[in-house]
Amino acid sequence: MFYGYKNILGLCLIIIIIFVDFFLSKVVSNNENKNKYLFLSILLSLSTLILFKYANFFSSVSLKFIELLAGKKLEKQLVSLTLLPGISFYTFQSISYMMDVYKKKILPEKSILNYSLFLGFFPQLVAGPIVNAAHFLPQIEKLKSIRLQDLYLKKAIYFFLLGFIKKSVIADNISVIVDQCFHIDFIHVLSSFSLFIGMLSYSIQIYMDFSGYSDMAIGLAYLFGIQLPENFRYPYLSSSITEFWRTWHITLSNWLRDYVYIPLGGSKKSNLDTYKNLFLTMVLGGLWHGANWNFIVWGGVHGILLCLERIVHKKSDIRPDSFLLRNIKIIFVFLLVSLIWILFRAENLEFALKYFQNLFLFKTGLELGYTKLNQFYLILGVMFLSQVMGKKFENKLKHFTEKDSGLLFYFFISILIIGSILLSGNAKPFIYFVF
């Protein structure tokens, strides 16, 4: 009902995938011709994803090619389909389930209701985290004997409120700066410094927006007695691109590693094959985010950087970084990742190139204004301070939400609720809802 409220077609598709997976998984588990049935299941999931997510993109590319051959501009788009919410997430869960059954990592699920809950669990259905069947399905069995007092109520409140603050207080407030800097009418008149602030602001916005949703999903899941996997682990405190991808959108990184990178050959063969597999995996990861050349280039750039890091590490001695050197690396990686985020935020490659051009011209122009600059500096400081403190006192925070801390916990939560209501910005849609 949650998923089909405004999109009955999307509900029908996920129901079809649930039934096909459920019955084919039993065949794949016991049949000698299991390759054929695995192929059928993955074909259904990928066909659904390609049709509703990439048909418009391929149509646009084909149209431009036809226009080039015809020598004139055609006004009508060949195909125009609406993207179904969450399709990128549940199709990946479907594929991973079938692959795990095929490799005998898990047994096929006996209950179609349990499998339906796994594929259509509403807190994480539309924007993740991407859940592994081996992690999720055993928890459903435990729910049969769970008591009300066994539910993670304090964790649920903490994570949901944490996500709400990230989204409504930080991401939505800083989005005002992002929207101005990435507007086509402002890109040529804003100073390079303002565009630099806009670049960093988007880096903060997408992190707080997406990790905020993940935290809220984790909090909601705790209310139902389900523990979802961690999706972010202080990614902007990473001292390398490799570390960044181990801490950013962790469930997608793990999925790409297990079901794309390793099946391609991983790092088992030559160095050249390893770099090729790594690059292709990141390009596919970029394409997963959206049917646009921006995302493909974005993924490709990250793939090249990951390859370069592997080359450098192979040729140099790995020594522990000093405190100063590690912090210099953290700042550098944050600026580099923020720079690449421009590709992610821009409407198309042409706009991204214009942004880069105006950013590196070091030109004067229209400034953002005293209020917006102060807002940016405050949010930037709060974000990094909270990351550093969160990482340093991680165990104490975990103890605070798990053990009996009495009235102190609820007093702390009350203060956060009041603060989040007073400081919330104008509500904006979650960024990853379009993926």
Active site residues: 289
- Widest Cα–Cα separation across the chain: 74
Determine the Cα angle at 205 with ends 49 and 381, to 5°: 150
Query: Which phi and psi angles does 190 have, rounded to 5°?
Result: -75, 150
At 381, which amino acid appears?
G
Whole-number Å distance between alpha carbons of 41 and 26 = 12
- Contact between residue 273 and residue 260 where contact means Cβ atoms under 8 Å apart: no
Nearest residue to 188 (alpha-carbon basis) of 370, 366, 350, 368? 366
How far apart are alpha carbons 229 and 218 in whole angstroms?
A: 8
Helical (H) or strand (E) element with 303: helix 293-315
Residue 176, amino acid: V
Residue 228, judged by CB atoms within 10 A of its CB (0-12, 13-18, 19+), counts as buried
Q: Sort 268 into a burial class: Cβ within 10 Å, 0-12 / 13-18 / 19+.
A: exposed
